[in-house]
Amino acid sequence: MKVTQDPKKVSAGTKQRPFVVVNPRTGQPFPKGPFDLSEDDLKSPAVLRLLPPIKYGGVAGGRHGDLVILNDEAKKKKGSAS
């Protein structure tokens, strides 16, 4: 699944306190641009919580929306579900 950090939250960060999303599974920050979540990340409830909830175009178990699913990936997901 291709995701990126939420641009709204990234822009809300400051130079002294930049917005950084850390992978709870590895303890390392996620990359700044678009990237793919690994299979292990997709199996981790702690990582899934960083995605938005289903109501906002996310996934089951999503809560915070610190990471957002890229549009082309979301469209594929909707197309395959019907």
What are the φ and ψ backbone dihedral angles of 47, each rounded to 5 degrees?
-75, -40
pLDDT tens for each residue of 31-58 = 989 999 999 999 999 999 999 998 888 8
Specify whether the CB–CB gap between 33 and 4 falls below 8 A.
Answer: yes
Compute the distance between CA of residue 32 and CA of residue 77 in angstroms, rounded to an integer: 23
Q: Which of 35, 45, 40, 41 is nearest to 69 (CA)?
A: 35
The structure tokens 């960083």 sit at: 50
pLDDT of residue 82: 43
pTM for this structure?
0.77
The two structure tokens encoding residue 25: 């599974």
pLDDT of residue 80: 52
